């Protein structure tokens, strides 16, 4: 059985994962209208991944006898009408860093509560966040290298499409 503190923390996290999915979805839709076919596929794919993260939490809470509470975030997620590709990925990087801090906090709570089942479960999220931050940082570095070069952006978009298909650069 989950303690109240663990239940509350896991519930907040599953709702954060839902918000993350919506954020990536919103950005994918916006970037698709800009003509970046590869980048939009990458973002749509990540929206689905965030949803899977949410489902993992829901299934875990249910297995441990907890109570799943989904919150409708409502409202605007982000206004990105006039941002650059670099600004868009900076926002994603900051978001992923925030999620990492929250996962670390959950790990800390699980240790305080001596809930080693939850601690073990959360290790997957720790690894996932390391990968997420590194990936978005690598994308930011590539965008920085490209600068304002339109040809470079075109090739980067093609690379992102290949990355989406092969899950590697």
Buried b / exposed e across 110-147, counting CB within 10 Å, b at 16+? beebebeebbebbeebeebbeebbebbeebbeebeebe
CATH class entry, domain 4-166: mainly alpha
Q: What is the pLDDT of residue 75?
A: 47
Check whether 77 has a pLDDT greater than 90: no
pLDDT band for 81, please (50, 70, 90 cuts).
Answer: low
- Spell out the domain ranges in the chain: 4-166
pTM across the whole model: 0.88
Name which of 33-42, 70-79, 85-94, 150-159 the model is least confident about. 70-79
């Amino acid at each position: 059985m989950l303690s109240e503190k663990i239940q509350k923390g896991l519930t907040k996290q599953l709702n954060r994962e839902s918000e993350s999915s919506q954020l990536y979805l919103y950005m994918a839709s916006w970037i698709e209208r800009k003509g970046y076919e590869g980048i939009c596929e990458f973002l749509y794919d990540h929206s689905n991944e965030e949803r899977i993260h949410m489902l993992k939490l829901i299934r875990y809470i249910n297995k441990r006898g907890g109570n799943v509470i989904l919150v409708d975030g409502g409202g605007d997620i982000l206004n990105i009408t006039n941002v650059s590709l670099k600004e868009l990925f900076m926002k994603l990087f900051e978001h992923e860093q925030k999620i990492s801090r929250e996962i670390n906090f959950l790990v800390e709570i699980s240790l305080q509560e001596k809930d080693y089942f939850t601690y073990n479960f959360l290790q997957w999220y720790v690894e996932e966040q390391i990968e997420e931050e590194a990936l978005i940082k690598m994308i930011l570095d590539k965008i920085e290298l490209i600068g304002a070069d339109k040809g470079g952006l075109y090739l980067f978009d093609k690379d992102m499409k290949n990355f989406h298909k092969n899950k590697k650069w």
